[in-house]
Structure 1
Amino acid sequence: MGAVADAWTWLTTGANWQGESGVTARLLEHLWFSGVCLLASCLIALPLALWLGHIGRGGALAVNLSNVGRAVPTLAVLVLLTLTPLGRHGDLPTIIALVLFAVPPLLTNAYVGMREVDRSVVEAARGMGMSGGQVFRRVELPLAYPLVLIGLRSATVQVIATATLAAMAGGGGLGRIITAGFNTSDTGQVVAGALVVGALALAAEGVLVLVGRLCDPMRATRLTRSPGSSKSAGPADPAAAARAMT
């Protein structure tokens, strides 16, 4: 309990939140790091996974290759990139390492979500005259949305937690608070930094859950099919399900 009490004292000291090395500045740096890495990861993984899931070819190989990256420690990748010429370009090694770390959950969940869409619904949509693009936008993507969102939430939490490694390569972020605590043998500061990172990760996941529910393209349909609803059975006919999404 002593370390927790010391962490609380450190967090409630106003001076620790001010200045270039304060919590506020480090938090903004951490958010910038995480946001850039997540945006880059989404731009790489989601279009590829959704397209491969739509055509039904090559996805398993892509998923397996991306999952190989999970076996390589992010810190090892960061150190190796820092030792290359990329190390002279500021935060670039950290961003690349975090992007490589975030791609697998995004790619895997998006691809699996597309492939788990009921094929009978897809065929019914094609039978109604929908083009491939219409089937993708109106049928496959809305039904794959929950798994895509789970992948995004997983990647977000992982990136926010792992971005603390940026401090080991001379970068900013909340990791600098933790490393500074280690350097001065200040256990309270180390625990405080870890608590801020954990709180940020939980807050980000909570926001994504809320936004995900509000933006769900199948929100109305899912509500009418929820347990206890008089319409919980939903349309038993694949064609009726396809019509409900148009």
Structure 2
Amino acid sequence: MNLLVEAFKWLVAPEQWEGNTGLQVLLGQHLLFTLLSVAIAGIIAIPAGWAIGHTGKGREIAVAAAGIARAVPSFGLLILLVLLFGVTHKPEAALVAFVVLAIPSLLAGAYTGFEAIDRKTVDAARSMGMTEWQILLKVEIPLGLSLLVGGIRAAALQVVATVTIAAYVNLGGLGLPIITGLNLRRFDMVLGGAVMVAVLALVLDLLLALAQKAAIPRGLGSQRTSPKNQDAGRLQEQDKELT
């Protein structure tokens, strides 16, 4: 309990919010790495996932590649890339490491969103004369958007937690007070930094959870959540069987 009080005192101390290493600066660095990493990973993974989901080809390769990316230790990859890129390109090395971490979740969210769509819906769109591009843009992407946002949510949470290791190569972020506190045996500093990372992750998770809910098509969402609609559907099926 005393440690929690000391951590709170450390967080609200004015000197922690001043200078080039103030908590607001570290928070900005942390967010910048997170957003850039997820955005670049999205540019790579989302079109690839949509192509896999639309064509049904390459899923095994994507699953294998995602498994390999998840198996690579983030800290080890960061150190390796820093050595390969050189000490003058540490931000680029860190960005690549975080992009690799974010790609599996985004890729999975993109193609599973398409796979979850009832094939009858796609076949109906095709029978109406819609082109493949029209099916992709007007049917598959809107219906698969919720699971894609779920993939973005998972990727963002993984990256925001892992960006703390950027401080090991002097790139700042909210991992800096954690690492500095461990070296100085200032556990109030360690806990304070950890609390800020946790709060940031919770805020991002809440915002993306709301976005995921909003991404569900209105009619589809009401059908899933409304018992009246489910009962009406069952009654319609029974009427068809009777007739």
TM-score by length of 1: 0.89
- Cα distance change, pair 229–150 in 1 and its aligned pair in 2 (3 A): same
Contact 2:150–2:212 under 8 Å retained in 1 = no
Please state how far the C-alpha of 1:149 moved relative to its aligned partner: 1.2
Aligned to 1:146: 146
Deviations 1:70-126 (A, max 9, x none): 111100000111111344213011100000001011111211221221111111110
Deviates more, 1:113-122 or 1:191-200: 113-122
**In structure 2, distance between residues paired with 1:4 and 1:82:** 35
Question: Which amino acid is the alignment partner of residue 84 of structure 2?
Answer: T
Contact 1:81–1:87 under 8 Å retained in 2 = no
Question: Which amino acid is the alignment partner of residue 81 of structure 2?
Answer: L
Aligned to 1:32: 32
Contact 1:86–1:92 under 8 Å retained in 2 = no
Aligned to 2:204: 204
- Cα distance change, pair 122–234 in 1 and its aligned pair in 2 (3 A): farther
Aligned to 2:157: 157
**In structure 2, distance between residues paired with 1:170 and 1:164:** 11
Identity of aligned residues (%): 35
* Structure 2 unaligned spans of 5+: 238-243
Aligned to 1:64: 64
Aligned to 2:48: 48
Written as runs of structure 1 = structure 2, the 5 A alignment for 1:225-236 is 225-230=224-229, 233=232
Contact 2:50–2:111 under 8 Å retained in 1 = yes
Contact 2:82–2:90 under 8 Å retained in 1 = no
Higher share of residues assigned helix: 2
* Structure 1 unaligned spans of 5+: 238-246
Contact 2:27–2:174 under 8 Å retained in 1 = yes
Aligned to 1:222: 221
**In structure 1, distance between residues paired with 2:74 and 2:145:** 28
**In structure 1, distance between residues paired with 2:26 and 2:135:** 45
**In structure 1, distance between residues paired with 2:61 and 2:85:** 31
Written as runs of structure 1 = structure 2, the 5 A alignment for 1:35-114 is 35-114=35-114
Q: Which runs of 4+ in 1 moved over 3 A?
A: 228-237
Question: Which amino acid is the alignment partner of residue 227 of structure 2?
Answer: G
Aligned to 2:241: none
**In structure 1, distance between residues paired with 2:34 and 2:95:** 8
Question: Which amino acid is the alignment partner of residue 119 of structure 2?
Answer: R
Contact 1:157–1:205 under 8 Å retained in 2 = yes
- Cα distance change, pair 112–156 in 1 and its aligned pair in 2 (3 A): same
Aligned to 1:178: 178
**In structure 2, distance between residues paired with 1:40 and 1:68:** 19
Contact 1:78–1:93 under 8 Å retained in 2 = yes
Please state how far the C-alpha of 1:148 moved relative to its aligned partner: 0.9
Question: Which amino acid is the alignment partner of residue 128 of structure 1?
Answer: M
Q: Secondary structure at the match of 2:171?
A: coil
* CA RMSD, 1 decimal: 1.9
Please state how far the C-alpha of 1:60 moved relative to its aligned partner: 2.1
- Cα distance change, pair 128–83 in 1 and its aligned pair in 2 (3 A): same
**In structure 2, distance between residues paired with 1:167 and 1:234:** 55
Question: Which amino acid is the alignment partner of residue 192 of structure 1?
Answer: G
**In structure 1, distance between residues paired with 2:200 and 2:213:** 20
TM-score by length of 2: 0.90
Q: Secondary structure at the match of 1:90?
A: helix
Question: Which amino acid is the alignment partner of residue 142 of structure 2?
Answer: P
Deviates more, 1:12-21 or 1:124-133: 12-21
